[in-house]
Structure 1
């Protein structure tokens, strides 16, 4: 029993084949791009405190005095930067 009484011609099969090949190519290209350039981000143990502080400074969230103070705390454990002795 033929429900739609539609006879497919050679062009129908050609179009379906081309569309399936195009879809396959798009999926393969997306997979290759995803594997070559994985999403980046600073998550979990990957992000060091110094790196996060540097990113905040680069975005302008903190000024240079606060950056130096916080970096000193991270490196030396106190809030004052190391003193420089004048000669």
Structure 2
């Protein structure tokens, strides 16, 4: 590129173009790695669409139906087992959990 200490116009152009391509590749690789990690983490967590918030009553509290729906979704996803589902459902419906006393 250098000829007697001077760089010609094509040398400057080639050097500038090479630098731009180099940095574009570095940035593209960083974006690719970041998206790959994000995709892997989402797949590991079993991420789906974000859950819709529970319906609310006029007083601003979540309705029992919305809470039961959320509980059923957690049970369907496998986040809670049969016993915990039954216990929490009984609490939501106002019944004591477990067997009835004699």
TM-score for the superposition, normalised by structure 1: 0.49
TM-score for the superposition, normalised by structure 2: 0.44
Q: Which has the higher contact order (CA 8 A, sep 6+)?
A: 1
